[in-house]
Amino acid sequence: MAFPILYSFRRCPYAMRARMSIVRAQFQVELREVILRDRPEHMMEISPKGTVPVLLLADGTVIEESLEIMQHVLDWTLSEEEQHWVSRNDDEFKFHLDRYKYPNRYEDIDEVEHRTAASLYLMDLDERLASEPGISEALSDALFPFVRQFANHDRDWFDVQLWSHVLEWLAKNLESEAFKVCMKKHKQWVAGDTATTFAPS
């Protein structure tokens, strides 16, 4: 294969942060946009768990976790603090985000309670963003797709909360050229399609 192959889904925050790292590093891949209800056979062969993103390297190595894709592409070794924030984001915040955004998927869920619980993380993140030095670009990319998803569920409510640094940070990321490249729309990939090169140098 000419380039590593990335199976991705545009709106998935995990896939989003993997693509952000690819854009930042100008790491060329063949992008294969997936519709999750119609997963490609090849993707399921190399990664039976069926989630995105999946990165297939030229030597046959398969990387199935978004954070590991970021680490590979960026040659990024997380500091203790970075690991702390990623863990809080991926475990604590994502848990409440899912139940806030998709309450019908769970039993006996109060979405407002989960919004409140998720807000504790965002207040802590706001305090961290206000301090010096700021967080690294890689860590920012690992976190903000999930905050974006949370914000978009009720933007009117989100925008009047007392996390001014989070609001400024989120806006800066959403307006960045890297994010515009990351979120460019691509049609669903099917076997036999002409390769789509993503994040060219």
pLDDT in tens, 169-193: 999 999 999 999 999 999 999 999 9
pLDDT interval class at 121 (50, 70, 90): very high
Task: Quote the tokens at residue 151.
Answer: 């914000």
Average pLDDT, the chain: 96
Asked if residue 200 has pLDDT above 90, the reply is: no
Q: Can you say how many angstroms the Cα of residue 17 is from the centroid of all Cα atoms in its chain? A: 3
CA atoms within 13 A on the CB side of 173: 26
Domain segments of the chain: what residues? Answer: 5-75+180-198, 80-176
Q: What is the pLDDT of residues 89-108, one digit of tens each?
A: 999 999 999 999 999 999 99
Gap between the Cα atoms of 163 and 140, Å rounded: 16
pLDDT interval class at 146 (50, 70, 90): very high
Please check whether residue 7 is in contact with residue 43, taking contact to mean a CB–CB distance below 8 angstroms: yes
Please check whether residue 158 is in contact with residue 104, taking contact to mean a CB–CB distance below 8 angstroms: no
Residues 6+ apart with CB under 8 A from 140: 169, 173
What is the Rg, in whole angstroms, of the alpha carbon atoms belonging to the chain?
Answer: 17
CATH architecture of 5-75+180-198: 3-Layer(aba) Sandwich (3.40)
Overall average pLDDT of the 164-169 stretch: 98
Asked if residue 1 has pLDDT above 70, the reply is: no
Percent of the chain with pLDDT over 90: 97
Asked if residue 167 has pLDDT above 90, the reply is: yes
Angle 51-56-61 (CA atoms, 0-180°, nearest 5)?
Answer: 110
Asked if residue 136 has pLDDT above 90, the reply is: yes
Please check whether residue 40 is in contact with residue 7, taking contact to mean a CB–CB distance below 8 angstroms: yes
Overall average pLDDT of the 129-152 stretch: 97
Q: Does residue 140 sit in helix, strand or coil?
A: helix
The domain defined by 80-176 folds into Glutathione S-transferase Yfyf (Class Pi); Chain A, domain 2 (1.20.1050)
- pTM: predicted TM-score of the whole model, two decimal places: 0.95
pLDDT at 199: 79
Please check whether residue 173 is in contact with residue 24, taking contact to mean a CB–CB distance below 8 angstroms: no
pLDDT at 112: 97
Overall average pLDDT of the 78-97 stretch: 98
Overall average pLDDT of the 58-75 stretch: 97
